[in-house]
Structure 1
Amino acid sequence: MRYISLLRGINVSGQKKIKMTDLKAVFEKMKLQDVETYIQSGNVVFSSPERNAGKLSAALEAGIKKAFGFDVSVIIRNAAEWQKILKSNPFLKRAEVPAKFMFVTLLSETATSAPETALRAYCRSGEEFALKGCELYLIYPNGSGKSKLNLNVIERQLNVTGTARNWNTMLALAEMLQKE
């Protein structure tokens, strides 16, 4: 089965530095196949006979901790889930929104609290979001860097772990999934 794993918070501001060649080696040491990385933010496409993404995630978190000495959350989606995520983006038909301003925060589990009121308070000038299952779709018309609706706020308000990727990265990873 083909998977995408997304590591949370590596290689950001010099924290939790991991070279992608070293990360790839960890995956391969764990007997995962067809391992490919994409950019420096911890995106890894791989194959595994394991059908339980939770087991894979826990094993990868343990392997990364052993190899690099720090905790990193790993969120995994299989190829079918990834395609569903891409098709479910409610903002795709909005031609005025460039892909670089669309993001998806992939959550470790379904949020237990209702996001509308909690997250709406952090939205600024045209920012929008839509929660669908374990994904929070976002538009940051002025870029994500200055937004108050950042990943730490999202995690705290929804009481889940997450990691965000921009739409261009989401599409690039989808292309990588197609390679066998």
Structure 2
Amino acid sequence: MAEHRIILFRGMNTGGVRAPVAEQRAMAAEMGLGNPRTLVASGNLVVESDAPTTDLEGAVEQAMEARFGLKIAAMVRTPEQWRALMKTNPFPDEAKADPSRLLMMVMKDGIAEGAVEALRGFAVDGEKVEAAGCALWLWHPEGIGQSKMADKAQPRLTGMGTARNWNTVRKLAEMTEAGDR
């Protein structure tokens, strides 16, 4: 029986990178991935597959380029990997207080050396950043809209990754538990 896989696309529906969610689900089905489901229009896809995560990352990236003409990074995690990441949250009080302002940045190949220290140099108004569980955790108490730290959290500084707020992180976990939500 196939297991769930959480697929995150970096930069989906930002800066002109567009792939309609219905088309993402259709692409996944055409790839033979079971029960494709999306969560909001920002690059979150849950499927069923037995493929190893790194193999699935490559296959999904190739399919995105073939179908949409997009060279876009995909990060794939099993539900067990996802829950393990969630448990490393260094900001549980902040997550409870305002989950939309806590971001978990899932990294493709690890965190770049010096990323945490560099991001801390841009932090203002109580912003915080920590590395835990192969993810960067960013707290933006005033929101990310005007945050210089959020703006600088780009691959050239952090390594390749994509961030989701704590609400989305929890909903993706729920999708892997509920099956057909």
TM-score by length of 1: 0.92
Higher mean alpha-carbon deviation, 116-125 vs 16-25, is at 116-125
Instruction: Name the counterpart of 1:21.
Output: 22
Instruction: Name the counterpart of 2:155.
Output: 155
Shift of 1:96: 7.3
Distance 2:32 2:151 in 1: 32
1:103 partner SS? strand
Alignment of 1:126-145 (within 5 A): 126-145=126-145
Higher mean alpha-carbon deviation, 113-122 vs 19-28, is at 113-122
Distance 2:96 2:104 in 1: 18
Report the RMSD for the aligned CA atoms in angstroms. Answer: 1.6
The structure in which a higher percent of residues are helix is 2
Alignment of 1:106-145 (within 5 A): 106-145=106-145
1:44 partner SS? strand
1:75 partner SS? strand
Alignment of 1:28-177 (within 5 A): 28-50=29-51, 52-94=52-94, 97-150=97-150, 152-158=152-158, 160-177=159-176
Shift of 1:41: 0.3
2:19 partner SS? coil
- Tell whether the 8 Å contact from 1:6 to 1:75 is kept in structure 2 after alignment: yes
Unaligned runs of 5+ in 2: none
Shift of 1:152: 4.9
Distance 1:20 1:165 in 2: 17
Letter in 2 for 1:2: H
TM-score by length of 2: 0.91
Instruction: Name the counterpart of 1:2.
Output: 4
- Tell whether the 8 Å contact from 1:7 to 1:73 is kept in structure 2 after alignment: yes
- Tell whether the 8 Å contact from 2:84 to 2:133 is kept in structure 1 after alignment: no
